[in-house]
Structure 1
Amino acid sequence: MDTDDHAEQGRARVAWIRSRMSLLAAARDELAGTRPFAGHRIGMSLHVEPKTAVLLETLAAGGAEIVGTGNFGSTQNDVVAYLNTLPGVTIHGAREDTAEQHAGNIAKVLDAGPDMILDNGADLAAGLVERGSAHTILGGTEETTSGGDRLRSELAGSIPFPVIVINDSLLKAIGENKHAVGQSAVESFMRITNVMVPGRRFVVFGYGWCGRGVAQYLRALGGKVAVVDTDELKAFEAALDGFRVGTPQDFAAWGDVFITATGRPDVLGYDIVENMHDGAILANIGHFPWEIDVAALRARQTGSTEIVDAVERIDLPNGNHVILIANGRMFNLAGREPKGNSIESMDLGFLLQTFSLERVATQAATLPPGAQPVPDDIDRTIARRMLANLHAAS
């Protein structure tokens, strides 16, 4: 398929998604009148799929010039081709990019000299600090918990501009992380593996908002679910919600499927994998491909076979094998036929992005530097709009 065909395919897919994102449609009309992003260049690092395209169309309607790239392993080429037909929008990257090529794409975004950032995993923020050019940025947003954690740990004190962490929003936590990620993870698991959920034993690592959703939706379809979380309060909550709770080793031999949703590196190590039963399935729904220690797994494997796209058999020295989904990347976007979170949930989540970026563009001087939550008035405005949509549809 050539570039023009890719662009037309992307255009058609985006048109369908756009037709279901009424919150962004209303915002697009508002921003076309106020143009708060006029004169601003937004550097973006975000999963590039059709819902993201509707967000970028909305920002462009508000006057923004956009230079961006996707996240490693999840970029959808037809959407990139379509976005690159839009005036003032330049998107780098492809689904096939290696980790090194992805790093080069991040560099291209920073080379373009943005004065605002729309970040995912704090890759742009980290690049700005490394270059010593963080002082050139007015402000920005961060989509994920993983990125918020980086901003508050390794990058703490190094960010002189405000970064609104979208995942700090309770509205997003409930609407997108719990319900949309939960639904998306289970639907994607079923589609990629074609195995049955009812009666199967699942171990969910992490009982944050995403982990809650994954556990809830698996159980709703008849799965037997155990939860691992090192935070005593979250483990307590999971226990009272009716899930089995314990350590990774408690469930290593019990589980059929292991899904990580923590935002933390190496939570599922080889010491756990070697105690799993033959044919256990490993999958990650967190942002970074680091929650499953894939490097340690590959260092010890005696063989591997790609069964179908995003499904790989890895043979172990003890004679067993495990199945690795999407090479440890976020499988609802990096797996086969990626769909990601539901359209309506991303309509809500990307409206949070839009209004938070508008707040930065118009009132950055009133915001403190560094990571911070979505302003309460933005959360409540969007909650009212979402409730109005739900009432209209009922």
Structure 2
Amino acid sequence: MTDLDSGRARTAWIRSRMPLLANARRTFSETRPFEGRRVGMSLHIEPKTAVLLETLAAGGAEIVATGNHGSTQDDIVAFLRSQGMTVHGRRDDSFDDHLANVAAVADSHPDILLDNGADLAAHVIRSGAASSIIGGTEETTSGGLRLRGELAGQVPFPVIVINDSMLKAIGENRHGVGQSVVESIMRITNLMIPGRRFVVAGYGWCGRGIAQYLRAFGGKVAVAEVDELKAFEGALDGYRVGALDDLAEWGEVFITATGQPGVIGEAVFDRLASGSILVNAGHFPWEIDTEALRRDSESSEIDQAIEVVRRPDGRELVLIAGGRMVNLAGPSPRGNSLEAMDLGFLLQSLSLERVATAPESLGAGAHGVPDDIERTIARAFLAALGADR
């Protein structure tokens, strides 16, 4: 089967199981909210994303896109190109290749940004090309942090931060990410979850979900969280709670879900038992300090997703997916569940529609998802779920 045949078949299967986007696609084909607009995208390219882009294209959007580093699926790229979309990138791109792909999307002069990690927003601002942008969306916590921190006061157009949505927090982050991270660890390592000791760094919505699903499978779970209120919640939810340094000798598998750089670094590496496994669930591959991990060490790749790092003192630490997002890594990556992404990508679609049709209703900078959009989608999701049955 060629890449194109594979991409077409996989996208067709996913499309058939995303009823919320199907409804949006039918509506957009009539209302054409993106007519004459070019949408520039930097987001993981996998089958569910293809269905999102089809939905925007049905509304008249011209698509220029790239994926994120290490998660692009080549068969889906082939399929999207066959549909007349301009798509940059390959799965084996280097990080420099990824930055060049982002630049190519930005240089196409999009009107609207569909961003992940604020890569596109940062590029158009620093290149002086922001004046042509009417607005956009940002998918992640990591990107929201950049917009409100590193880029604060520099964004002259509205950006709706999808991850601010309570719907996304519960549906996609807690349950979608929670389920897919645990499934991906099982798939990649083939290790048993029951009885194993896990440390989850970060007790935001993704961390909550990861901890919940690990415990549901029989794992022993501890939470490392610097925010006192979130740590309080973790303790009352029944988890062991402590500082990461203090949990380093207890844990066997360490999972980061914070959106912050350098969460697990040299001080923690020095205290880990030989055989400890390091996993990142956050957007950027920076939560585990992989440069420090490999420094003065010998590395051997077991397969495309498992790397054994032999430290100078002889201890062996296991790095999963090179520190990249685990649920879109390794052989046969699946990502979050279809239902979770149907919900999340409907949030994207309707938020982009608001940007395209009423940008004046939003001020410059980062915004949460408008309340009326959230409530409309909540009703649609409950109906699709058959919650009243």
Place the TM-score, normalised by the shorter chain, in its bin: over 0.9
Q: Distance in 2 between matches of 1:252 and 1:300?
A: 21
Contact between 1:333 and 1:339, CA under 8 Å: does it hold in 2?
A: yes
Counterpart of 2:57 in structure 1: which amino acid? A
Counterpart of 1:200 in structure 2: which amino acid? R
1:372 counterpart residue number: 367
SS at match of 2:82: coil
Counterpart of 2:303 in structure 1: which amino acid? V
Counterpart of 1:151 in structure 2: which amino acid? L
Instruction: State how many pairs are aligned.
Output: 389
1:383 counterpart residue number: 378
Output aligned runs, 1:169-248, within 5 Å.
Answer: 169-248=165-244
Deviation per CA, 1:202-228, whole angstroms, max 9, x where unpaired? Answer: 000000000000000000000000000
Output aligned runs, 1:1-394, within 5 Å.
Answer: 5-87=2-84, 89-301=85-297, 303-391=298-386, 394=389
Cα offset for 1:392? Answer: 6.8
SS at match of 1:292: coil
Q: Distance in 1 between matches of 2:247 and 2:312?
A: 21
Structure 1 segments unaligned to the other structure (5+ residues): none
Cα offset for 1:250? Answer: 1.1
Structure 2 segments unaligned to the other structure (5+ residues): none
Cα offset for 1:391? Answer: 1.5
Coordinate RMSD, CA, aligned: 0.9
Deviation per CA, 1:29-87, whole angstroms, max 9, x where unpaired? Answer: 00000000000000000000000000000000000001010000000000000000113
Q: Distance in 2 between matches of 1:300 and 1:282?
A: 18
Counterpart of 2:301 in structure 1: which amino acid? E
Deviation per CA, 1:6-37, whole angstroms, max 9, x where unpaired? Answer: 11110000000000000000110000000000
Contact between 1:282 and 1:324, CA under 8 Å: does it hold in 2?
A: yes
Contact between 1:265 and 1:292, CA under 8 Å: does it hold in 2?
A: yes
Deviation per CA, 1:156-188, whole angstroms, max 9, x where unpaired? Answer: 111010000000000000000000100000000
Worse-superposed segment, 303-312 or 19-28: 303-312
Counterpart of 2:284 in structure 1: which amino acid? F
Counterpart of 2:36 in structure 1: which amino acid? G
SS at match of 2:272: coil
Q: TM-score scaled to structure 2, two decimals?
A: 0.99
Q: Distance in 2 between matches of 1:393 and 1:330?
A: 35
Give percent identity, aligned residues only: 65
Q: Distance in 2 between matches of 1:315 and 1:120?
A: 33
Contact between 1:44 and 1:117, CA under 8 Å: does it hold in 2?
A: yes
Contact between 1:352 and 1:378, CA under 8 Å: does it hold in 2?
A: yes
Cα offset for 1:300? Answer: 2.9
Counterpart of 1:25 in structure 2: which amino acid? A
Q: Distance in 1 between matches of 2:133 and 2:73?
A: 28
SS at match of 1:84: helix
Cα offset for 1:393? Answer: 8.8
Counterpart of 1:246 in structure 2: which amino acid? G
Q: TM-score scaled to structure 1, two decimals?
A: 0.98
SS at match of 1:210: helix
Q: Distance in 2 between matches of 1:300 and 1:371?
A: 41
Contact between 1:274 and 1:318, CA under 8 Å: does it hold in 2?
A: no
Worse-superposed segment, 108-117 or 384-393: 384-393
SS at match of 1:39: coil
Counterpart of 2:140 in structure 1: which amino acid? T
Counterpart of 1:294 in structure 2: which amino acid? T
Runs of 4+ in structure 1 off by over 3 angstroms are none
Deviation per CA, 1:203-261, whole angstroms, max 9, x where unpaired? Answer: 00000000000000000000000000100000000000000000111111110100000
Cα offset for 1:335? Answer: 2.5
Q: Distance in 2 between matches of 1:300 and 1:165?
A: 40
